[in-house]
Amino acid sequence: MTTPAPGLKVAKFGGTSVADAGQILKVCAIIRMDPSRRIVVVSAPGKRRPGDSKVTDLLIALAERKLAGGSVEAELKAVVERYEAIQREAGVTPDVVREIEADLRRRLAADTGHRGRFLDLLKAAGEDLNARLVTAIFRKQGVDAHYIDLKTAGMLMSDEFGNAMVLPEAYERLKILRDAPGISIIPGFFGYTKAGEVATFPRGGSDITGAIVAAAVKADLYENFTDVDSVFAADPRIIPEARPIELLTYREMRELAYAGFGVFHDEAIVPAVHAGIPICVRNTNRPEAPGTRVVPSRPYKHGQVVGIASSDGFCAVYVDKYLMNREVGFGRRLLQIVEDAGLSYEHAPSGIDNMSVIVREKDFTPEREARMGDRIRTELGADNVEVDRGLAMVMIVGEGMHYTVGVAATATAALAQAGVNLEMLNQGSSEISMMFGVKAMDRKKAVAALYRAFFTEQA
């Protein structure tokens, strides 16, 4: 009789999950609980309490100090102390901390000629050193843990320091981790360029590492451990009683993340999504909670909304031109002007004689606004160009919204009843989301009204 091979799970732990020794011991218990959790990806130690610093931020301060010249001792001490506190509380040998300090000093002695490259070398230390320390703690607990050197393992990255991307050949190389002995402890957030230099993903990038590794080893599940029980149907800061979501599709997750769902950075999970690997969001502090699973597809009921997301910081450029619909190439030329201004547009809803382009307010400087307005008037002959700042997008999402007419009626009635003025309504082409443009000051009111309509009253 053969025993079925256990599945393989990649478990990623975020900054708060590894912020101190107590948290790391929880991680260790979670790994022991399930023999298929054989690959662990760790962040740098995060905040232990509100107001605390993340080690990554301390490392950035250290790197900046070095770049500015002068003594780095105070900043270096602040970093070393974080690791020392963990070492002491976890009862592992102080040698680990001496090695950590020596490693940091080596990094500080590196060439500072290229600012981005130097910053990345320092930033990456947060995860790299933590992975070593977590390995030591696991081993002390009797777990056969092995630190994984990402250079040898082949986490190959582009050389866009601070914003690097994984190179396609990394997947082939990382595949071998599937058969690595014991428990592999992998530092998140960084990799190596072909020239052997450290390069990091954007901030929060350990999620990306986890998704890449899960895809490379063809994991059965990518578990993303953080400090919330699950993804909620609406932002709990607006709706404290918002219900947890058990199951979401990738598409639903993407739409919700786009409009402000904070749990994942939506781009972070792309590698796992491409590989079709289910993802589960779970809480390190309450591992018994089932969490939220994000899967390629799920059964759904018609008309069902799974979540409401919202975010502000948008503005709309409304362009009117009589008989616009007859003019070949108007939309393309308008979007070309947006492109020439170096802006990416978020949505471009259009009517017969008008088209709006929604852009992020932070990128839409007054200079860009003036330049674009001039070009739209002169080159496109627009009758009217108006800019509306201070907009928020509120989005309802659900696979079940496909082909369901009643959803729009319910939503707009709820918004009208709450006294929220609708600036714009846009049904995504995927038909699994509907977006409402409202004034930023009405955002919370809109979310509350929609939650009531789809979750309280229809429940």
Please report, as a single letter, which amino acid is at residue 233. A
CB of 225 to ligand ASP, least distance (A): 12
Beta carbon of residue 90, minimum distance to ligand ASP (angstroms, whole number)? 20
CB atoms within 10 A of CB 242: 19
Q: 75 or 423, CB closer to ligand ASP? A: 75
Cβ-closest position to ligand ASP? 206
* Cβ closest to ligand ASP, residue 190 vs residue 451: 190
Nearer of residues 15 and 307 to ligand ASP, judged by Cβ? 15
Interatomic CA distance for residues 332 and 334, integer angstroms: 5
The residue ranges that bind ligand ASP (CB under 6 A) are: 15, 43-44, 54, 56, 126, 188-189, 203-207
Min. distance of Cβ 407 from ligand ASP in angstroms?
36
Q: Is 341 left (phi over 0), alpha (psi -120 to 50) or beta?
A: alpha
Q: Report in angstroms how near the CB of residue 100 gets to ligand ASP at its nearest.
A: 16
What's the start-to-end Cα distance of the chain, in Å? 49
**Distance separating alpha carbons of residues 190 and 206, to the nearest angstrom:** 8
Residue among 15 and 271 whose Cβ is closer to ligand ASP: 15
Cβ closer to ligand ASP: 201 or 455?
Answer: 201
Looking at the chain, the number of H-run helices and the number of E-run strands are 15, 18
Decide whether 200 or 310 has the Cβ nearer to ligand ASP.
200
Q: Which is nearer to ligand ASP, 205 or 400 (CB)?
A: 205
Residue 422 has phi, psi (to 5 degrees) of -85, 115
- Whether the Cβ atoms of residue 123 and residue 56 lie closer than 8 Å to each other: yes
Cβ at position 60, least distance to ligand ASP in Å: 9
CB of 210 vs ligand ASP, minimal distance in Å: 9
Q: Shortest gap between Cβ of 286 and ligand ASP (angstroms)?
A: 20
- Conformation bin of residue 91: beta by default, left when phi > 0, alpha when psi is -120 to 50: left
Question: What is the 3 state secondary structure string of 215-227?
Answer: HHCCCCEEEEEEC
| Ramachandran angles phi, psi of 387, nearest 5° | -115, 130
Pick 137 or 211: Cβ nearer ligand ASP: 211
Q: CB atoms < 10 A from the CB of 361, how many?
A: 15
Q: How far is the CB of 56 from ligand ASP (least distance, A)?
A: 4
Starting at the edge strand found earlier in the chain, the sheet holding 9-13 runs 145-147, 183-187, 37-42, 9-13, 221-226, 279-283, 292-295, 247-249
